[in-house]
Amino acid sequence: MLACGTANLYAFTPQPSDIALLEKIEKDSLNYFVRMSDKVSGLTRDSSRPGSPASIAATGFALAAIAIGGARGWVPEDYAYEQLRKTLKNLLTKAQHRKGFFYHFLDARSGRRVWESEASSIDTALLIAGALLAGEYYPGTDVERMARALYERVDWKWMMNSSDLICMGWKPESGFLPYYWDQYSEHLILQALAIGSPTHPVAPETWQSWLRNRDDYRGISVLYSFSGSLFTYQYAHAFIDFKELNDRSVNYFENSKAATMANRNYSLESRAQYQSYSEASWGLSASLGPGGYKAYGAKPGQGLHDGTVAPHAAISSIVFTPEESIRAARFMYDEHGEKLYGHFGFKDAFNLDKRWWASEYLGIDQGITVLMLENFLQDGILWQKFMRLRSIQKWIKLCKLG
């Protein structure tokens, strides 16, 4: 049921049938992490595709999702705790890393690096965020202690490579990648954890070192990401409550609301060209597509699109646009559910013009769906837990966000 205070956060009040559907989507999406996490290591597979390796970001979402499932009674409490404990132990003792930064893709059983992937700063940040959130569900336990140990091991300053910005990653064959977090993106969660670190923090000035590019789309002003993908406006917001945080003239919660509406409007303006788009069928974000995985997005940003709609994009914007997101969830479930909805909720994407339907799920997309729905349905409970972390309060204070 919708928590008592949630309706007060929004001008829009969902109907009981809407709440029932949202609960179903969240619970079904959460089952991805029960079924797609390795039975021995606990590491979560990147995709439901057979043979998929584990993704460290998907594992971070899994830690948060399993804790939610235990609290909700959707998985047995003893299972939830043991699954978290097992996963965190393997991350601490077996999973391959470099100075606390995990490789993007790991063998799901052994935890060894695969695909010559990089030690990833953002994927490690998402893992740490999920671990710390899980720890808040089990205070004073091994889960909380191991989550904290993972966080304290990360040498955030090393990943700056003696620059003013945080690097995107490092490879043993070639060293640091030539790419840095130099403009607005999902990296806000990375910045918060790095600045707030109790052991290897980066300087607070790092917060002001990246570009804040702003542009308008049809009168909607957005501090935008390069791709314009909706996930870039969602990931940090799954954990951090930005509603009362102001970065000088920018409120990132309000910015994500504006970006979501711009994304939706951008799709609607192409309805004559692509039949996938409608008032209730929208959402341009990085997802699978007819030509493979692409960073679909809207303007402001590069605005790459081909008629592919990702259900998780609209649904995970529910804290910003509840009425529009619920309408999209209802429409896609009622109209396309036979092809688009399965055991783990909505599959990744679809494209009506090319008669293409994704056959698989992606862990990160199921993860953001679970966390955003939980925040919406349970009165911002994840925000409440995460915001009380000492490291997050340190970041807020040092960066003068208020």
Q: Tell me yes or no: is domain 14-211 CATH 3.40.190.10.
A: no
pLDDT value of residue 253? 98
Identify any residues that bridge with 223 across adjacent strands, giving them in sequence order: 214
Distance CA 70, CA 178 (A): 41
Give the three-class secondary structure for 74: coil
Which residues, including other chains, have CB under 8 Å from residue 76's CB and lie 6 or more apart? Answer: 70
Q: What is the C-alpha separation between 133 and 317, in angstroms, rounded? A: 20
Write the DSSP assignment of 252-295 as a string of letters: HHHHHHHHHHHHHHHHHTTTTT-TT-BTTB----EE--TTS-EE
C-beta of residue 313 within 8 angstroms of C-beta of residue 362: no
pTM of the complete model: 0.96
Each residue's pLDDT expressed in tens, for the chain with a length of 402 residues: 344 334 445 677 899 999 999 999 999 999 999 999 999 999 999 999 999 999 999 999 999 999 999 999 999 999 999 999 999 999 999 999 999 999 999 999 999 999 999 999 999 999 999 999 999 999 999 999 999 999 999 999 999 999 999 999 999 999 999 999 999 999 999 999 999 999 999 999 999 999 999 999 999 999 999 999 999 999 999 999 999 999 999 999 999 999 999 999 999 999 999 999 999 999 999 999 999 999 999 999 999 999 999 999 999 999 999 999 999 999 999 999 999 999 999 999 999 999 999 999 999 999 999 999 999 999 999 999 999 999 999 999 999 998
Give the side-chain half-sphere CA count within 13 A for 311.
Answer: 36
Dihedrals phi, psi of 47, to nearest 5 degrees: -145, 160
What's the CA angle centered on 268, arms 263 and 274, to 5 degrees? 110
Q: How far apart are CA 219 and CA 223, in angstroms?
A: 13
pLDDT at 38: 97
**pLDDT the model gives residue 13:** 86
For the chain, the residue count is 402
The pLDDT value given to residue 9: 56
Domain with CATH 1.50.10.140 in the chain: 14-211
Rg (CA), the chain: 20
The span from the CA of 3 to the CA of 106, in Å, is: 38
